[in-house]
Amino acid sequence: MLNSTDAAGRKPLRVLVMVSGGGTNLQAIIDSVGDGRITNTQLVGVISNNKNAYALERAKEHGIPSMCVSPKDYETREIFNTKLLEAVDGFAPDLVVLAGFLVVIPPEMIRRYEDRMINIHPSLIPSFCGKGYYGLKVHEAALKRGVKVVGATVHFVDEGTDTGPIILQKAVEVQQGDTPEVLQRRVMEQAEWMILPRAIDLIANGKVRVAGGRTEILP
Ligand code: GRF
């Protein structure tokens, strides 16, 4: 899927999206490429670790090559890691986007895709992140602590859990009576589906510089 509005005549960024579930973030990326919020980008593939992920249907509907690589299909984690990296390399991506991908990324893949792999996390890092904070657990913890503002973060992936250089963040207000599910949905609608496509567009257009564990967004 190629957005042809590359006025500058640059080579489009080859983007591979990795998913595990519903794929609403994938959908936001597909829609943004379609309507020009993301430019200079080609969605070259989708990889899921879960063959039943609805995200795979979304990929098919839009003609994006997709495949499942599941740890369940391999005897050891090492073999899975090798197969996963082979699959990723097979798409020759310039950028790997983890959009709700729930599998631990093999260290070799982190090294190979340093500054070329991003993740969306449903909190304002460094709050409610790190080991054990994923999915609804993030929102449960935020409500338990009683914070009034939550949000989402897009960051580069490094060896730590949610520790890589931050690219974009967006805040979302907690409302009286929120449940984890309601809050999760609001964070997706008001933050994740906006900043993940925006981050891809910035990277595709050479606007993100990484140095010393931080990013600079160029004008
Ligand atoms: C999102 O909340 C994302 O932040 C988290 O997993 C969820 C994925 O949702 N890491 P979807 O598959 O994009 O709908």
Ligand 1 contact, 23 CB (< 6 A): yes
Provide mean pLDDT across the span 184-189.
98
- Residue 6's pLDDT band (boundaries 50, 70, 90)? low
Pairing state between β 66-68 and 95-98: unpaired
CA of 99 to the centre of ligand 1 (A): 6
Q: 84-111 b/e with 16+ CB inside 10 Å = b?
A: bbebbeebebbbbbbbbbebebbeebbe
With the most atoms of ligand 1 within 8 angstroms of its CB, the residue from 120, 121, 161, 186 to mutate is 120
The pLDDT tens digits for 62-71 are 999 999 999 9
pLDDT score of 217 more than 60: yes
Determine whether the shortest distance from the Cβ of 100 to ligand 1 is under 6 A.
Answer: yes
Name the token pair of 212. Answer: 């010393």
Instruction: Name the DSSP class of 11.
Output: P
Closest atom of ligand 1 to CA, residue 54: 12
Query: What pLDDT score was predicted for residue 10?
Result: 76
pLDDT digits (tens, 9 = 90+) for 129-144: 999 999 999 999 999 9
Contact at 8 Å (CB) between 192 and 122?
A: yes
Split at pLDDT 50, 70, 90, the class of 215 is very high
CA nearest ligand 1 atom 1, residue? 100
Contact present, 197 and 28 (Cβ < 8 Å): yes
Whether pLDDT at 184 is above 60: yes
What does R_g of the chain's alpha carbons equal in angstroms? 17
Q: Is the pLDDT of residue 9 over 80?
A: no
Q: How far is the CA of 7 from the centre of ligand 1 (A)?
A: 32
Cα–Cα dist 51/122, whole Å: 24
22 lines ligand 1 (CB under 6 A): yes
By three-state DSSP, how is residue 17 classified? strand
197 CB within 6 A, ligand 1 = no
Q: Which long-range contacts (CB under 8 A, 24 or more apart) does 127-130 make?
A: 129/153, 129/161, 129/162, 130/160, 130/161, 130/162, 130/163
Name the average pLDDT for the chain.
96
Return the ligand 1 atom nearest residue 119 CA: 10
Average pLDDT over residues 138-161: 98
pLDDT at 8: 63
- Nearest CA to 11 out of 210, 206, 197, 155 is that of 206
User: By percentage, how much of the chain surpasses pLDDT 70?
Assistant: 96
Alpha carbon distance 208, 101 (integer Å) = 23
**Beta carbon of 151 within 6 Å of any ligand 1 atom:** no
Half-sphere exposure in the Cβ direction for 154 (13 Å, CA): 29
Q: For ligand 1, atom 7, name the residue with the nearest CA.
A: 100
For the cut 50, the answer to whether the pLDDT of residue 5 exceeds it is no
Mutate to test the pocket of ligand 1, among 19, 162, 192, 195 (most ligand atoms within 8 A of CB): 192
- The CB of 122 under 6 Å from ligand 1? The reply is yes
